A and B are shown apart, each in its own frame.
Chain A
Amino acid sequence: MRRFEATQLVLRLAGDSPIVSNLGPSSDELWHAGHRDRNFYTYGNMGLCSSIALGMAMATDEQIISLDGDGSILMNMGTVASIGREKPKNLTVIVWDNEQWGQTGGQTSHTGTGTDLEQVARSCGIARTKTVTDLEDLEAAVTEALASDGPNFIVAKIEEAGYLSVAPVEPEFTLYRFRNTFVAPRQPGD
């Protein structure tokens, strides 16, 4: 399964739900798949994608989707424990697992040497978990997740297959646009 096609699929299933994307290709591909105000692209903050999504899920009742990566989750595995502790019903974490640090030269990550992130999530108290390897199973897993009480944790094994161009995203604008879908911005005369 290629990440871009999987991202297009998730975006289609998400409807109007907010999506947070991990730094690098996950954010670039989300932008290419379909830019919208409710995409929260990250470009730094290594490891914090699902922490940001957790904060969103506790601040709103809307379904929140995190498009994280194996390397990112490994950098901040404690946040899986926090998700298991807080148990937000409206959070779905999808981990694009290519078993490598793709951005830094393709070094093998710990999921390539035996770490099973689905089992990590289970041991942290997240009951609804799944590992999928193709688009059909991903569609079924995400559809079920968005229709059920979470938290949901889906590990999607992907093959690394080239990069699309870097998305022209400004973090300040990303936050401003995203937040304004939750908080009505002031208007002239207010």
Chain B
Amino acid sequence: MNWAEQIVKTLKDWETSMIVYVPDISIDQVTSLIDKDPYFRLVSATREEEAIGIAVGSYAAGRNAAVFMQSSGFGNSVNALASLCIPARTPIPMFINLRGGPGEFNIAQVVMGRAVIPIMDQLGLPHFILEDDGKMDKLLDGAMKLCHANRQPMAICLTQMLHGGKIA
């Protein structure tokens, strides 16, 4: 089972069937699997803040949801996290393609990519960085457990070391 299949399995293990995303070439390795799997409803949002809102609505109506985005788009989601998810306590796992690390080729991706973790820390939200798929099943399962126990968003950051990076 590769890293993308492992994420799909974990989402199912945690009965997380509403997946809201803004497209990204690397996380497409996961979202394309989700798109083919009738267990999930895959919803394309126009912007990451909107994706958070849709996910919160789904959770509020009893269906667990997760969000997929790129680190640049994480910057668009901060107020939704701060003024909706945290005050209302919503366990929304976010799978973020973390740009700006080893292998980055685009200067415009570096600043926001490297700001994701400090911003998550400022918001007091847990986060994990995946650089390889060793023990990934345990980490993903444990992160989802934490997310629901804490009833707050949580970030799984997927790096180029894990997924091979952007092809462009």
Contact = CB atoms under 8 A, between A and B. Distances in A.
Interface of A: 18, 20, 40, 42-48, 51-60, 62, 64, 76, 78-79, 81-82, 85-86, 171-172, 174-176, 178-179, 182-183
B19 to A, nearest CB: 11
Interface residues of B, number: 32
B159 to A, nearest CB: 28
B43 to A, nearest CB: 6
Nearest to A179: B60
Contacts, number: 122
B162 to A, nearest CB: 28
A52 B45 contact: no
B49 A47 contact: yes
B44 to A, nearest CB: 7
B60 A76 contact: no
Given A43-B87, A46-B79, A79 B58 contact: no
Given A44-B82, A48-B84, A52-B56, A86 B61 contact: no
Given A55-B53, A55-B54, A78-B50, A18 B87 contact: no
Nearest to A62: B61
B65 interface: yes
